[in-house]
Structure 1
Amino acid sequence: MTTATPAPLRIGVIGLDHWYAAIPFARRVAAEPGVRLRALVDRDPDRVAHVAGLTGCERTSTDPAFILDDAEIDAIACFTSVDRNPDLVVAAARAGKHIVSVKPLATNLADADRVVEEVERAGVVFVPSESRHTSPLARRLSGLVDSGRLGELRAGTFAMHSTLPAAWPGAGEPGWWADPARTAGGAWIDHAVYQIDRITALFRSPVAGITGTTANLVHRELPLEDYGHAVLTLESGAVVTVEDTWITPAGASSTRAHIVGSRGAVFHSTATESLGVAEEGGAWTVETLPPDPSDTLDALLAAVNDGVAPGSTVRTARQTLATCLAFYDAARGAR
């Protein structure tokens, strides 16, 4: 007996504001045999024409309704600025379409709660962009935790230092990323959402408290921070720090993490392209850093075609946003 191959999932991309995620996602959908890139939408006709040329997608528009009202589209990937995301994903859920969402899912918890309510009412799949659970690096880290080789996780340090984002490839200014009306924060939340999602997956303990600081160390004219450093205390008693910035010189961006348990530790760094593991009584063993690409398309397909629940859901995304907003509240209160 043979198993029927599922029909290709038909996907529409709404918004190219977060082009760092939108363009690779659209190109991968256009290249994968199990999916179809049915349509592209962006407010800027030049941007949508550019991505259409990269992907071969012939159906384009500047109106989101072009995708939301299309009964032949099964799922949307929304990569607009964060302020526009809640209304669009709510409309998609009401239309019965599965969702890949920009990160974070909203600028405030009231809008995030609207998204949670409509997604759960519709019963559609929701994959947040900050979620990475099946990449080679994610599997390596979770495998170490699951094996017990690290013991009880007690501390962690997560950091990403990057340059100021560009509004579009080649643009000399950050655009919406530095507009307080269009996003929930600046440099810190830009990448902290990824790290908090991973901390949740690895430490498996809710955040009990958070504090920290923000600053403008290089881009003093920005209305949002270019530096943030948070200290999270988890209910397990573990303490984790998250530092994210837009302050590095061109070419000096890097991501690193160091997790310490009662029996061992693991670190990884993009600067050295290495991952090291140390176990009780032993020296560090260093290997090549496994890749950590976005796996939102894989998670979407696994959920829709095989019923495999995504590693992070709409409720995970809501909690990640709540943690980020609590950090900003704490940082303001510390001034």
Structure 2
Amino acid sequence: MTTPPAPLRIGVIGFDHWYAAIPFARRVAADPAVRLHGLVDRDPRRAAHVAALTGCDRTSTDPGYVLEDPEVDAVACFTSVDQSPGLCVAAARAGKHIVSVKPLAMTLDAADRVVEEVERAGVVFVPSESRHTSPLARRLSGLVRSGRLGELRSGTFAMDSGVPLSWPGSTEGPGWWTDPDRTAGGAWIDHAVYQLDRINALFGSPVAEVTGTTANIAHPGLPVEDYGHAVLTLESGAVVTVEDTWIAPPGTSSTRAHLVGSNGAVFHSTATSTFGFAEAGGEWSFSKLPEDTFDTLDVLLAAVHDGVPPGSGVRTARQTLATCLDFYAAARG
């Protein structure tokens, strides 16, 4: 009988990106294959809030609390983007596996430092924008691999939401999400990173050219855009559009995508909870939309315990950032 591996001990640093950080911490606390070994945030009230949700009483305001702890095997970094590269570098040098906030850095120079240290240390790096094993991701990739879509010719990806909150239930505004000194952009990059990672996985072709536009439509006073629309021409010849906004009315967030191939097409929407598929010569058939759940913990465990490489790693995250920065440069003209 095979002895199960010892639980992977994980420390979480930062709850700025609380949308991802709090669910991740709660998932770690509930999974017997891992152990939530420490919670760190510069605001002790936020760490205490998550401690109450997870039952983890090991908290600190100092990242060294987990980075320097030899009992911590992996670090999940969910700080604002400007702080993340330094923490990821420190984690790699300490030999700890990494789950990183998205995007992994604000500049390519900072991203390259992370790539160098992660590869030098040989640790696992899981970018939080990556979802390869969710039910929706598996459904889409299965259709592509089966050939039922044929050659992918175009794609449309879109996400509309309101401006993010700085903390659950907060009335203090978006905080770091709209601070140009702490993030590489606004509404577009906020969700485009997820879509670019998926485009890379499904189309399997590098981006050859990026054009597009940004605007402030609903929130003219924001120092970052609340609207972005990119047109990506891939080396395969396929053309993909990525539109992400913070202009939606409160409570009406929605995500949708449409892939068109030479043999078939796929459409899905969270607004209608539908997944549609049509093959050449046939009518559209619709089914319930599969969940697109965060899978970073599953991917981390598979990589550390079973040697299964993450679908996206540190170099994928670096390329996603490069495409985002190319888009912003093109939008500025």
TM over 0.5: yes
Q: What TM-score does the superposition give when structure 2 sets the normalisation length?
A: 0.99
Q: Does 1:235 align with 2:235?
A: yes
Task: Supply the AA of the counterpart residue of 2:112.
Answer: D
Q: Per-residue deviation at 1:155?
A: 0.3
Task: Supply the AA of the counterpart residue of 1:297.
Answer: L
Unaligned 5+ runs, structure 2? none
Q: How does 1:114-263 map to 2 (within 5 A)?
A: 114-172=113-171, 173-263=173-263
Q: Per-residue deviation at 1:308?
A: 0.1
CA distance in 2, matches of 1:293, 1:135: 5
Q: Per-residue deviation at 1:226?
A: 0.1
Q: Does 1:315 align with 2:315?
A: yes
- Which secondary structure does the structure 1 equivalent of 2:221 belong to? coil
- Which secondary structure does the structure 1 equivalent of 2:83 belong to? helix
CA distance in 2, matches of 1:72, 1:251: 42
Task: Supply the AA of the counterpart residue of 1:198.
Answer: R
- Give 4+ residue runs of structure 1 displaced > 3 Å after superposition: none
CA distance in 1, matches of 2:40, 2:252: 33
Task: Supply the AA of the counterpart residue of 2:197.
Answer: D
CA distance in 2, matches of 1:184, 1:297: 25
Q: What TM-score does the superposition give when structure 1 sets the normalisation length?
A: 0.99
- Which secondary structure does the structure 2 equivalent of 1:11 belong to? strand
Q: Output the aligned Cα RMSD.
A: 0.4
CA distance in 2, matches of 1:147, 1:285: 18
CA distance in 2, matches of 1:179, 1:210: 24
CA distance in 2, matches of 1:245, 1:322: 20
CA distance in 2, matches of 1:287, 1:47: 40
Q: Per-residue deviation at 1:171?
A: 1.5
1:284 equivalent in structure 2 = 284
Matched length: 332
CA distance in 1, matches of 2:149, 2:48: 49
Q: Per-residue deviation at 1:87?
A: 0.3
- The one-character-per-residue Cα deviations of 1:113-168 (angstroms, maximum 9, x if unpaired) are 00000000000000000000000000000000000000000000000000100000
CA distance in 1, matches of 2:125, 2:170: 31
CA distance in 2, matches of 1:288, 1:258: 16
Q: Per-residue deviation at 1:65?
A: 0.3
- Which secondary structure does the structure 2 equivalent of 1:105 belong to? coil
2:6 equivalent in structure 1 = 7
1:296 equivalent in structure 2 = 296
CA distance in 2, matches of 1:95, 1:74: 9
Task: Supply the AA of the counterpart residue of 1:167.
Answer: S
- Which secondary structure does the structure 2 equivalent of 1:81 belong to? coil
Q: How does 1:79-94 map to 2 (within 5 A)?
A: 79-94=78-93
Q: Per-residue deviation at 1:69?
A: 0.4
1:55 equivalent in structure 2 = 54
Q: Per-residue deviation at 1:56?
A: 0.4
- Which secondary structure does the structure 2 equivalent of 1:304 belong to? helix
CA distance in 1, matches of 2:252, 2:166: 20
CA distance in 1, matches of 2:81, 2:11: 18
CA distance in 1, matches of 2:135, 2:48: 33
Q: Per-residue deviation at 1:4?
A: 1.8
Q: Per-residue deviation at 1:170?
A: 1.2
Q: Does 1:328 align with 2:328?
A: yes
Unaligned 5+ runs, structure 1? none
CA distance in 2, matches of 1:264, 1:54: 45
2:96 equivalent in structure 1 = 97
CA distance in 2, matches of 1:238, 1:300: 32
2:268 equivalent in structure 1 = 268
